[in-house]
């Protein structure tokens, strides 16, 4: 039961992107098409999973003073290996992802899970936690990628869904969808929807916003 | 007596308190060594596959470009495929580089080799490439000894990436036969549309230089109004300018101008 919660928790209840707002830079950069979002999701989940397991295995022997460097070294090596594999076997995709696979190193999500969970838990539950967080991240990336590709280019995985006006159809592509700000809008709307359905996720306001009358009285 | 059994040394190391200096250094060293091994074996093992991918990609694009010029493709077909000559030229002299086999020439290696590149000054570096390779592989197609087609690789900085392309010129060396973008990482949907066949199809027939020999060919904003201009892509002004600058640099005096001069004079 607890294992299931470790796995499913991060997918919606404690989603790394929409609740913890981690790893959103890459969520903006690679979601212009569903295919790149998919490859990025797989790459991140693989790195997160492998990194968490390795760090969890040696967690008792990592000196506290150099623990972040050890974690980053392991994560960076896994990222390079993943990038090399993508360049070798999914070459076309690697050209479209360009530097973003390499930037998984700087994704707060990976280091965050290593530091917060894998350093204190056995490999089994670390793996489940990593998988859950990877899937949570992937879910958001795929939703954003789906909306951006569909409305920005009228295609899904490169297959035409809406015939655009360039090709003689009716659909006028929303070019905004292909630019980074649209990912922010979609992400914001997603967070709004999730928090409307699950009010428990709403954070307490740090400051009360003063009404006009109160402001005048002060 | 000192115990030299590696297994017990290992156990002793693991038993050390985590904060001890020996263990900190040992852990740092072991982690780095294992990671270095993993990264280098991946690079060594996967390197040839990646290289093959890159070569296949370049060849596919070259073939696609030739296929877009039916007349030239027919010419190559008629002569049995041998007439498309590959030569490595030295941009310092404008002549064919000596002692270099075009078949084993590695343009990627030369591009990063300080000995075979020339650093460009800010005024020279129109295309924003920093340093220019001295040795470049070009393709030349002749029919009965007469020049029909020259394919030149060009490159330059676009909006957010290096754009590489093959520019094919007709026998007069002033009319564009085709342009094929071989590598770019521009904004998808905007700058990246330079990869679309529809945009590249605007290039054939454009003129390169005017009667005085000034390079006039450029990508303009909006619609082209004369034979030196190519329609720009809306929302991709800087990508278009990058392509224009690449053309201007590579066909100018620091680029292929000496080579083209020699080709015209029949010295190549």
Give tens-digit pLDDT for B72-103.
Answer: 777 777 766 566 788 888 888 888 887 777 77
Instruction: Using only the alpha carbons of chain B, give its radius of gyration.
Output: 25
Q: Evaluate if residue B1 carries a pLDDT over 60.
A: no
- Cβ neighbours of A166 in B, within 8 Å: 198
CA separation for the pair B186, B147 (Å, rounded) = 34
Instruction: Find the closest chain A residue to B162 by CA distance.
Output: A98
State whether B39 and A80 contact (CB < 8 Å).
yes
Q: By the 8 A CB rule, do A71 and B28 touch?
A: no
Residues in chain A: 218
Q: Which residue among B42, B183, B190 sits closest to A175, beta carbon to beta carbon? A: B190
Whether the CB of B55 is below 8 Å from some CB of chain A: the reply is no
Give tens-digit pLDDT for A147-186.
Answer: 999 988 888 888 888 888 777 778 888 888 888 888 889 9
pLDDT of residue A217: 58
Instruction: Find the closest chain B residue to A75 by CA distance.
Output: B35
Q: Sorting pLDDT into bands at 50, 70 and 90, what band is A1?
A: low
State whether A63 and B38 contact (CB < 8 Å).
no
Q: Sorting pLDDT into bands at 50, 70 and 90, what band is A102?
A: confident
Write the burial class of residue A25 (CB in 10 Å: 0-12 exposed, 13-18 middle, 19+ buried): middle
Confirm whether pTM is higher than 0.95: no
DSSP letters of chain B? -----HHHHHHHHHHS-TTSHHHHHHHHHHHHHHHHHHHHHHHHHHHHHHHHHHHHHHHHHHHHHHHT-HHHHHHHHHTTT--EEEEEEETTTTEEPTT--GGG--HHHHHT-GGGEEEPPTTT-TT--SEEESEEEEEEEEETTEEEEEEEEEEEE-SSSEEEEEEEEETTSSBEEEEEEEE----TTTGGGGGSHHHHTT-TT-B-B-TT--B--EE-SSS--STTEEPPPTT-HHHHHHHHHHHHHHTSTTTTHHHHHHHHTT--
State whether B35 and A74 contact (CB < 8 Å).
yes
Instruction: Using only the alpha carbons of chain A, give its radius of gyration.
Output: 20
CA separation for the pair B176, B185 (Å, rounded) = 24
Q: Evaluate if residue A16 carries a pLDDT over 90.
A: no
CA dihedral sign of residues B111, B112, B115, B121: positive
Interface test with A, best of B43, B50, B158 (most A CBs within 10 A): B50
- Give the phi and the psi of residue A158 in degrees, each rounded to 5: 85, -10
- Cβ neighbours of A98 in B, within 8 Å: 161, 185
């Amino acid at each position: 039961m607890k294992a299931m919660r470790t796995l499913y928790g991060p997918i919606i209840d404690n989603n790394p992107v929409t609740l913890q707002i981690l790893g959103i830079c890459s969520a903006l950069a690679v979601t212009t098409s569903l295919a790149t979002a998919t490859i990025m999701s797989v790459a991140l989940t693989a790195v997160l999973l492998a990194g968490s397991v390795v760090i969890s295995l040696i967690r008792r022997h990592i000196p506290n003073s150099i623990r972040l460097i050890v974690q980053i070294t392991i994560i960076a090596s896994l990222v390079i290996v993943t990038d090399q594999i993508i360049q070798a076997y999914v070459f076309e995709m690697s050209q479209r992802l360009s530097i973003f696979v390499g930037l998984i190193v700087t994704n707060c999500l990976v280091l965050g899970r290593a530091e917060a969970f894998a350093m204190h838990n056995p490999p089994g539950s670390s793996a489940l936690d990593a998988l859950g967080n990877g899937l949570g991240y992937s879910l958001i990336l795929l939703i954003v990628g789906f909306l951006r590709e569909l409305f920005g280019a009228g295609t899904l995985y490169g297959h035409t869904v809406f015939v655009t006006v360039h090709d003689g159809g009716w659909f006028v592509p929303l070019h905004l969808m292909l630019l980074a700000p649209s990912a922010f809008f979609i992400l914001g709307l997603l967070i709004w929807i999730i928090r409307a359905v699950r009010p428990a996720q709403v954070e307490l306001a740090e400051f009360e916003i003063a009404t006009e009358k109160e402001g005048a009285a002060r | 007596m000192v115990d030299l059994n590696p297994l017990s040394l290992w156990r002793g190391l693991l038993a050390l308190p985590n904060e001890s200096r020996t263990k900190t250094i040992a852990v740092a060293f072991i982690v780095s060594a294992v990671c270095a091994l993993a990264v280098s074996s991946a690079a060594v093992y996967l390197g040839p596959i990646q290289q093959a991918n890159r070569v296949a990609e370049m060849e596919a694009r070259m073939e696609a470009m030739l296929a877009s010029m039916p007349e030239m493709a027919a010419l190559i077909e008629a002569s049995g495929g041998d007439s498309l000559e590959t030569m490595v030229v030295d941009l310092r002299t404008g002549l064919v580089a000596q002692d270099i086999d075009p078949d084993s020439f590695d343009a990627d290696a030369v591009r990063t080799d300080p000995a075979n590149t020339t650093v460009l000054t800010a005024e020279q570096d129109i295309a924003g490439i920093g340093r220019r390779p001295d040795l470049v592989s070009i393709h030349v197609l002749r029919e009965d000894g007469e020049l029909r087609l020259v394919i030149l690789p060009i490159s330059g900085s676009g909006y957010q990436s290096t754009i590489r392309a093959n520019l094919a010129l007709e026998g007069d060396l002033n009319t564009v036969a085709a342009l094929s973008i071989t590598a770019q990482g521009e904004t998808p949907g905007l700058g990246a549309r330079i990869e679309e066949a529809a945009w590249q199809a605007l290039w054939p027939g454009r003129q390169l230089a005017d009667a005085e020999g000034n390079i006039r060919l450029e990508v303009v904003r909006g619609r082209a109004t004369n034979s030196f201009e190519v329609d720009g892509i809306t929302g991709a002004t800087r990508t278009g300018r990058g392509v224009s600058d690449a053309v201007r640099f590579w066909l100018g005096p620091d680029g292929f101008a000496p080579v083209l001069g020699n080709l015209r004079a029949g010295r190549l």
